[in-house]
Amino acid sequence: MRIAILGGTGNEGFGLGFRWAAAGHEIIIGSRLTEKGADAADRMFELVPEGNIKGTNNPEAAELAELVVLSVPYAAQKATLDAVLPALEDKLLITVVAPTGDKASRVWRLPSGLSAAEEAQQQVGDKVRVVAAFQNIGAHHLLNEDHELDCDVLICGEKSADKKVAMGLCEDAGMRGINAGALQNASAVEGMTSVLIAINIIYKAKGAGIRITGL
């Protein structure tokens, strides 16, 4: 697939792009600045010389892609989506955003009472399907290709077909995707990011993750 990663210069988006490029997907790294996107593409190309990778600004990245991944800090979510809105129509938007407040180890409840994923869905409207995934994946695991990812990806969204696409991308990145129900369930999954940060601090761990058992 031709995948745009908005905010793909950040650790999480870059790590996902790296794994997807290595799996044969075409990756377009988006950034606020065209040049930063291009620089990140150069860095990724060094890691995956056989990869089909380019970098540009977010709106162009979204325009060129079949599927768009949103991987920016929550504070930049609204402005980033505003900037790419016309390019999203009829596309699947996978959001990786997990909002954390001043104290990242404490679950932060957004003033809207919604999850960041639902806020994104409200903003982009009915013509864009939003799926939440990869909220709980530590970025530093992604860049180590030999590192087995001992965690599952919880996927929330309204349409099974869209969640299946996200599941395929989980597999391509070396993880198991789990259909975790409706988009509003993203509020618990996003909150688990803070729980995992708390666990990392308390247990002096680097990459606590979640596995779903009993399936």
* Interface residue list for a second copy (CB under 8 A): 105-107, 109, 113, 138, 150-151, 154, 178-182, 184-185, 187-192, 194-196, 198-199, 201-203, 205-215
Closest separation in Å from C-beta 210 to a second copy:
6
Closest separation in Å from C-beta 134 to a second copy:
15
Considering beta carbons, is residue 169 or 180 the nearer one to a second copy? 180
Of 8, 19, 25, 116, the C-alpha closest to 62 is 8
Considering beta carbons, is residue 79 or 182 the nearer one to a second copy? 182
SS3 of residue 21 by DSSP: helix
Closest separation in Å from C-beta 117 to a second copy:
11
Q: Whole-angstrom Cα distance, residue 82 to residue 84?
A: 6
Considering beta carbons, is residue 32 or 176 the nearer one to a second copy? 176
Of 11, 12, 45, the C-alpha closest to 28 is 45
Tokens representing 180 are 């975790």
Considering beta carbons, is residue 33 or 182 the nearer one to a second copy? 182
Tokens representing 194 are 């803070």
Q: Whole-angstrom Cα distance, residue 129 to residue 135?
A: 17
Closest separation in Å from C-beta 91 to a second copy:
24
Considering beta carbons, is residue 50 or 148 the nearer one to a second copy? 148
Closest separation in Å from C-beta 47 to a second copy:
23
SS3 of residue 4 by DSSP: strand
Considering beta carbons, is residue 43 or 109 the nearer one to a second copy? 109
Give the angle 105-109-114 at the CA atoms, nearest 5°: 140
Of 6, 29, 31, 213, the C-alpha closest to 124 is 6
Closest separation in Å from C-beta 84 to a second copy:
28
Using an 8 Å Cβ cutoff, are 60 and 83 in contact? no
Supply φ then ψ for residue 123, to 5 degrees. Answer: -70, -40
